[in-house]
């Protein structure tokens, strides 16, 4: 099992949440500072930004390998749209290894959405 931090359309109540069917919700979480969300149209992209002081709010899920493979396809890892890497979260998750999907392409001209994505 792996812990994954989701911050957009995979969250509970959002349109891609079904990809997490059968997995375990662990809790609401927030990154440490240094991350920003941008609107990419119908979904967000999170990018590192050392100037950010707020971080990003999302959810932590425990997922099995099959689910992780489905998420990797959804997030376009093979196409270099996103990459899955560890992310630093605030307590109570600070000491745990949690991964998330970072957007790899330019966010120039994209609107920032603040720390919480809402559909």
Catalytic residues: 75
56-83 burial, b at 16+ Cβ within 10 Å, e below that, comes to: bbbbbbebeeebeeebeeebebeeeebe
Q: How many degrees, rounded to 5, is the angle at CA 50 between CA 44 and CA 54?
A: 60
């Amino acid at each position: 099992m792996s812990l994954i931090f989701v911050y957009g359309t995979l969250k509970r109540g959002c349109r891609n949440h079904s990809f997490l069917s059968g997995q375990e919700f662990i809790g609401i979480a927030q990154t440490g500072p240094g991350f920003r969300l941008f609107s990419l149209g119908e979904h967000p992209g999170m990018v590192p930004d050392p100037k950010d002081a707020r971080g990003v709010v999302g959810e932590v899920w425990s997922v099995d390998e099959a689910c992780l493979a489905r998420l990797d396809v959804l997030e376009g890892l093979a196409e270099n749209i996103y990459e899955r890497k560890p992310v630093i979260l605030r307590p109570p998750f600070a000491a745990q290894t949690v991964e998330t999907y970072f957007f790899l392409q330019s966010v120039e001209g994209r609107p920032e959405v603040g720390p919480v994505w809402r559909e």
